């Protein structure tokens, strides 16, 4: 055996031994130290890079162990292949898959995985016009209309940017290609099995009145869609002309001639409920608030206001009946500021 072969075999054996058993003797990493760098020879470098002894056996690094000289016994010879020539197998062309003659099975095969659209469009998108600018909200294009009653300000069309706040590459996309639900929902819901009929002990032919009323009320409420604001007036609102007519009608009976000077400085807010035929309900007339005078002045001012409402409403105010919901309850503010000195 050649000496070189022996050395190579020994070195390989040592290398294998280190590779197998080296992990058991791996030492903890040494603390970081700073060493000066100096030029060394190739031999020194080889010695430094030689396998080390396991840590802990000796604090001082030892010289790499020199393998014992191996006896000059030739290694087992590797099996020598036979030299019989082997004929290469002929290349067989792949056969076409057989097409089944029978129809497709009743159960459709799993659909192909739904793939997202190509991230890269086959055709490039036209670049937006230069004057188009992105905006937070979409705005239509508005041009000046000379004939419009209320001309609008001219503005350019804008749209939000079609972008997200982060970029997701194809590599980062999670593969959620599997269908989330069955594509074969049952066409007919299976019949629920008939429950066993348990005869009632004493069946009640009619529900209790309270229950019936509650049910009816609930049904009525449900059908009516609920009434979130019970006191909200209903019907179309009164027009300005209709309000003015009511104001004038009350004014004609608001006699402040007998009021005191203090009462003529007092503004009172009076609430009144009306009947559907436009007549005030006398008992409903009440003073909600007053300002500018004493309690006595407010009482006198309220008296004059109440007389005005009752007198001119005795025959009914001219109010639209179809809007009764709007004027069923009225708050009238009687402000005598302009009536003080005339």
Partner 1 sequence: MIRILTGLLIGATLFAAPLAAQTGPLRIEITEGVIEPLPFAVPGFVPDTPGAADTARQLSQVIAADLTGTGLFREIPSSAFISQVTDFAAPVQYADWKAINAQALITGAVNVSDGKLTVRFRVYDVFSGAELGTGLQFAGSTDGWRRMAHKVADEVYSRITGEGGYFDSRVVFVSETGPKDDRHKRLAIMDYDGANVQYLTDSSSIVLAPRFSPTGDRVLYTSYESGFPRIYVLDVGKVQRRLLEQTEGTMSFAPRFAPDGRTVLFSLEQGGNTDLYSLDIGSGAQTRLTNAPSIETAPSFSPDGRQIVFESDRSGSPQLYVMPATGGEAQRISFGQGRYGTPVWSPRGDLVAFTKQSKGRFHIGVMRLDGSEERLLTASFLDEGPTWAPNGRVIMFARETQGAGGRASLYSVDITGRNLKQVRTPDGASDPSWSPLQK
Write out the residues near partner 1 by the rule CB under 8 A: 136-137, 229, 231-233, 237-238, 243, 246-247, 250-263, 271, 282, 296-297, 299-300, 303, 306-308, 310-311, 314, 326-339, 341-342
Shortest separation between residue 171's beta carbon and partner 1, angstroms: 38
Shortest separation between residue 259's beta carbon and partner 1, angstroms: 7
Which class for 158: exposed (0-12), middle (13-18), buried (19 or more C-beta within 10 A)? middle
With respect to partner 1, which residue has the nearer C-beta, 89 or 231? 231
CB burial of 319-330 (b: ≥16 within 10 Å; e: otherwise) equals: beeebbebbbeb
Shortest separation between residue 203's beta carbon and partner 1, angstroms: 49
DSSP assignment, residue 329? E
Parallel/antiparallel/unpaired status of strands 286-291 and 267-273: antiparallel
With respect to partner 1, which residue has the nearer C-beta, 6 or 280? 280
Shortest separation between residue 185's beta carbon and partner 1, angstroms: 43
Radius of gyration of the chain (CA): 52
Shortest separation between residue 220's beta carbon and partner 1, angstroms: 23
With respect to partner 1, which residue has the nearer C-beta, 6 or 300? 300
Q: Which of 55, 57, 64 is nearest to 27 (CA)?
A: 55
The answer to whether 215 touches 207, Cβ cutoff 8 Å, is yes
Residues 6 or more apart from 324 whose CB is under 8 A from it?
Answer: 235, 274, 276
Q: How many residues does the chain have?
A: 342
With respect to partner 1, which residue has the nearer C-beta, 6 or 308? 308
């Amino acid at each position: 055996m050649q000496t070189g072969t022996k050395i190579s075999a020994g070195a390989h054996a040592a290398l294998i031994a280190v590779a197998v058993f080296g992990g058991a003797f791996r030492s903890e990493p040494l603390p970081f130290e700073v060493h000066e760098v100096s030029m060394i020879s190739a031999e020194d470098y080889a010695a430094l890079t030689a396998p080390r002894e396991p840590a802990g056996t000796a604090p001082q690094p030892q010289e790499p162990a020199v393998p014992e000289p191996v006896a000059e016994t030739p290694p087992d010879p590797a099996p020598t292949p036979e030299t019989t020539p082997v004929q290469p197998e002929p290349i067989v062309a792949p056969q076409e898959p057989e097409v089944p003659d029978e129809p497709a099975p009743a159960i459709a095969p799993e659909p192909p995985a739904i793939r997202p659209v190509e991230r890269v469009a086959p055709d490039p998108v036209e670049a937006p016009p230069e004057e188009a600018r992105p905006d937070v909200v979409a705005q239509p294009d508005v041009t000046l209309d000379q004939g419009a009653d209320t001309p609008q300000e001219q503005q350019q069309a804008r749209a939000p940017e079609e972008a997200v706040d982060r970029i997701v590459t194809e590599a980062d996309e999670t593969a959620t290609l599997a269908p989330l639900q069955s594509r074969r929902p049952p066409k007919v819901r299976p019949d629920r099995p008939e429950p066993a009929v348990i005869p009632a002990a004493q069946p009640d032919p009619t529900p209790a009145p309270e229950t019936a009323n509650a049910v009816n009320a609930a049904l009525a409420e449900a059908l009516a869609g609920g009434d979130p604001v019970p006191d909200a007036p209903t019907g179309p609102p009164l027009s300005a002309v209709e309000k003015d007519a009511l104001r004038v009608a009350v004014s004609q009976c608001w006699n402040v001639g007998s009021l005191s000077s203090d009462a003529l400085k007092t503004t009172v807010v009076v609430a009144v409920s009306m009947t559907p035929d436009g007549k005030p309900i006398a008992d409903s007339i009440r003073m909600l608030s007053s300002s500018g005078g004493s309690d006595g002045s407010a009482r006198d001012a309220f008296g004059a206001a109440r007389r005005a409402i009752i007198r001119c409403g005795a025959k009914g105010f001219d109010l639209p009946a179809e809007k009764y919901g709007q004027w069923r309850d009225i708050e009238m503010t009687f402000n005598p500021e302009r009536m003080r000195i005339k």
